[in-house]
Amino acid sequence: MSTTTATEHIENIGSSRIGLGFFEFVITIALMTASVAVAIDIMLPALPAIGHSLNVANTNDTQLVIGVFFLGFGCSQIVFGSLSDTFGRRNILLAGLAFFTLTMLGAAATQSFEMLLLLRFVQGIGAAAVRITTMAVVRDCFGGREMARVMSYVMIVFMIVPIVAPSLGQAVIYYANWHWIFILLGGIGAILFVWAAMRLQESLPKEERLPLSVASVVSGFRTVLTNRVTCGYMIGLTLFTAVICAYIVTVQQIFGEVYGLGDWLPIAFAGTAGGIAVANFANGYFVRSFGMRRISHVAMILFTLLSGAGLLISLGGKPDFLLAYLLFSVLLMMFAVIATNFTAISLEPMGHLAGTATAITGFVSTTGGALIGGAVGQMFNGTVQPLFAGFTLFGVLTILAVLWAEKGKLFTHPGDDTAKLEAGGGHM
């Protein structure tokens, strides 16, 4: 069997588990996960309008429209992981999409900033159900480098959303008002619900499901926290969730206030998002040849060095826009490679605990990342210094976490050499 034929065979076996071809599988999973991204990124041009409409005195407080969504998204994941391991992926996915849709329509009717923040938190809960179940479906169907490859292609489609979402949000604001953004999001959720109900089969057979109990959650936490690889990379994911959270909550102020881009914000944001899509495509192409660890470890070192350079430049005065923009674009490309591979590496040892493990790592990384990244966002002082300082610190701490996870050995797993020896009969 040729390499190409073998690859197609693996793809067909994995995706057919939920009754879809490989291409439709990738598109379906990507659109489900993209619903989370669109709920965040479409809001960026609307933040000043929301602040003005709802009489928000401190402009930094409008960051909370995005920050509390991240928080609700993170802290509820643990619940949906256990539920999906017990009742199956499909049922929880459909419930999450229904919840997501209804709360979006509720937000469209609110006239209170406090109520809007509450509904955004609740929307994050619905989005968490979607994210957890779709990631668990991928793990049900694929493993190892094939999972990383699928995730990279999913992320390509996923990242088209941030490219167009801010422009879509700005168009809505131009022709109507910010309330209509939530009506649009509710419509998107309804369409995805119908699609999932019609096309998606269950990926977790009943015989592989786990009983629902507090003990199973505690056991899942113990399994994740006592697995050195899963725990170490979960810490790294937390820090890089903080990276993307800090960037997203402050990008409107940085591009709008620091550099005065105004209506050009969606175009600038689309450029950085396009870089992330390119990085994920490249990762999907090269991960088979070089492996998840080599690629992601190089990326995290480059990320840390470039962030430090950005910090030093910003301490000497406001960086030129083109330089700052280039730095942000490259850093976000590194982020994409790191997040995709770290996710796959952290779940690789978890086997049939995919739902619970995804939930626990998602719960810790997203909740922690939202709080830490949000704190960096609140430090915004009219310069890019807090963001570059946060990025540098997160990069250094991630390197330390990965060194711990890999027992001091970067670019390859400590057990790889042993595995090669065993495969070769024990000879050097």
Residue 413: pLDDT band (50, 70, 90) is low
Which structure tokens are listed for 118? 């509450």
User: Per residue in 43-74, pLDDT tens?
Assistant: 999 998 999 889 888 888 999 999 999 999 98
User: Is 392 inside any structural domain?
Assistant: yes
User: Is 7 inside any structural domain?
Assistant: no
Residue 423: pLDDT band (50, 70, 90) is very low
Using alpha carbons, select from 280, 151, 211, 195 the residue that is nearest to residue 18.
195
Q: Which of residues 221 and 63 earns the better pLDDT score?
A: 63
Interatomic CA distance for residues 9 and 37, integer angstroms:
31
* DSSP assignments along 67-96, one per residue: HHHHHHHHHTHHHHHHHHHHH-HHHHHHHH
DSSP state of 243: H
Q: Which of residues 148 and 333 earns the better pLDDT score?
A: 333
User: Is 38 inside any structural domain?
Assistant: yes
The boundaries of the domain holding residue 70 are: 21-205+212-413
User: Is 419 inside any structural domain?
Assistant: no
Say how many domains are in the chain.
1
The domain that holds 385 is classified in CATH as: 1.20.1250.20
Which structure tokens are listed for 24? 């439709």
pLDDT at 137 exceeding the cut of 90: no
Predicted local confidence at residue 420, as pLDDT: 42
User: Is 418 inside any structural domain?
Assistant: no
Question: CB–CB of 249/66 below 8 Å?
Answer: yes
pLDDT at 104 exceeding the cut of 90: yes
Average pLDDT over residues 98-111: 92
Q: Which amino acid is at 84?
A: S
Interatomic CA distance for residues 307 and 269, integer angstroms:
19
pLDDT at 10 exceeding the cut of 70: no
pLDDT at 17 exceeding the cut of 70: no
Predicted local confidence at residue 206, as pLDDT: 77
Interatomic CA distance for residues 129 and 77, integer angstroms:
7
Helix, strand and coil in the chain, % to nearest 5: 85, 0, 15
User: Per residue in 164-178, pLDDT tens?
Assistant: 889 899 899 988 889
Using alpha carbons, select from 286, 284, 291, 234 the residue that is nearest to residue 416.
291
Q: Give the up-direction half-sphere exposure of residue 262: CA atoms within 13 A in the CB hemisphere.
A: 1
Interatomic CA distance for residues 1 and 173, integer angstroms:
55
User: Is 10 inside any structural domain?
Assistant: no
Considering only 141-145, 167-171, 308-312, which range has the smallest mean pLDDT?
141-145
Q: Which of residues 9 and 373 earns the better pLDDT score?
A: 373
User: Is 425 inside any structural domain?
Assistant: no
Interatomic CA distance for residues 236 and 343, integer angstroms:
10
Predicted local confidence at residue 8, as pLDDT: 52
Question: CB–CB of 351/224 below 8 Å?
Answer: no
Average pLDDT over residues 70-85: 84
User: Is 358 inside any structural domain?
Assistant: yes
